[in-house]
């Protein structure tokens, strides 16, 4: 009986949500967002730091989402609390959880037709075969074509080299935040339903855009996702990180840059998808449990 209990505890440990970010072993290190602690007062006295509180430290959940929160939505971390309450007028954050039920919204799933592979007349990938990881994921709205225009115009305005945009970033940007708006993507503590890129691969691209190096064109209006006082303290690099984290909020189950580009890993013997360390730890725990059971 003791042996069974030990093995059961190991199985539960394997199902735990990761406590470390998936992109920690990358050559490119994402700077932490400016540290602050929001008051959730949603007024001029609110110091902000919703991205730091929500996506970076996941303080609401102590850094690791418990299994009983599944299905999960990143909005539960309150990283978008200011955006939802102040900018969109939600009575409270994160709003009714069923609002993030994309199955009921009825827009269906992404197909290859949602990804043209073209952005501002620049070919990113081959139409019909683009974004295979995203195809099959739920839609929050039927707006992929709109995002082709919105994102293309934003990148052109920032003088970004669109030809250097990696396919995984293109695919994610065309989703229009469905990855955080649809809780169907988070049905397990161990993996996402489809592969979503981590914020590292997006940040490294945006930091190469000449305009963004001095002045960021925010995805929403300045002061929409964080209080204006918080905005005033951000360096251009801080701004890129904070702005990216609001739509790349999953930092534990996502796929880092080296998943798509293996040579970008900081260790040739390390995992390229952020899973090796946890798998090794789980296996070591399993062996220890077996050893203890045999000795009893």
pLDDT band at 12 (very low <50, low <70, confident <90, very high): very low
Q: Which domain holds residue 42?
A: 2-295
Bond from prior residue into 94 cis (ω within 30 degrees of 0): yes
- Does the pLDDT of residue 10 top 80, yes or no? no
User: How does the average pLDDT of the chain come out, rounded?
Assistant: 86
- The tally of domains found in the chain comes to 1
Q: What is the pTM of this model?
A: 0.84
Which pLDDT score is estimated for 15? 62
CA–CA separation, 120 and 178 (whole Å) = 22
Which pLDDT score is estimated for 138? 97
79, 225 contact by CB (below 8 A): no
Per-residue model confidence as pLDDT tens digits over 215-258: 999 988 888 999 999 999 999 999 999 999 999 999 999 999 99
Which residues have CB under 8 Å from 215's CB, separation 6+? Answer: 236
């Amino acid at each position: 009986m003791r042996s069974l209990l030990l093995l059961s505890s190991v199985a539960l440990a394997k199902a735990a949500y990761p406590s470390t970010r998936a992109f920690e072993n990358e050559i490119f290190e994402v700077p932490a967002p400016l540290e602050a602690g929001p008051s959730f007062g949603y007024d001029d006295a609110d110091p902000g730091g919703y991205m730091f509180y929500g996506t970076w430290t996941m303080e609401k959940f102590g850094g690791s989402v418990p299994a009983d929160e599944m299905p999960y939505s990143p909005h539960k971390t309150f990283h978008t609390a200011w955006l939802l309450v102040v900018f969109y007028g939600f009575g409270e954050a994160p709003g009714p959880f069923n609002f993030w039920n994309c199955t009921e919204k009825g827009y269906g799933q992404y197909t290859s037709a949602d990804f043209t592979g073209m952005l501002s007349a620049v070919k990113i990938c081959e139409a019909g075969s683009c974004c295979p990881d995203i195809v099959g994921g739920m839609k929050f709205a039927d707006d992929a074509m709109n995002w082709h225009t919105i994102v293309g115009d934003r990148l052109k305005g920032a003088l970004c080299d669109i030809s250097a945009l990696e396919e995984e970033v293109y695919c994610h940007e065309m989703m229009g935040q469905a990855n955080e708006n649809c809780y169907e993507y988070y049905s397990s503590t161990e993996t996402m339903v489809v592969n979503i890129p981590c914020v590292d691969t997006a940040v490294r691209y945006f930091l190469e855009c000449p305009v963004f190096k001095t002045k960021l064109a925010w995805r929403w209006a300045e002061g929409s996702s964080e209080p204006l006082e918080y905005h005033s303290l951000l360096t251009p690099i801080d701004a890129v990180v904070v702005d990216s984290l609001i739509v790349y909020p999953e930092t534990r189950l996502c796929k880092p840059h080296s998943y798509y580009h293996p040579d970008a890993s900081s260790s040739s013997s390390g995992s390229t998808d952020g899973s090796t360390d946890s798998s090794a730890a789980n296996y070591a725990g399993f062996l220890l449990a077996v050893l203890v059971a045999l000795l009893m």
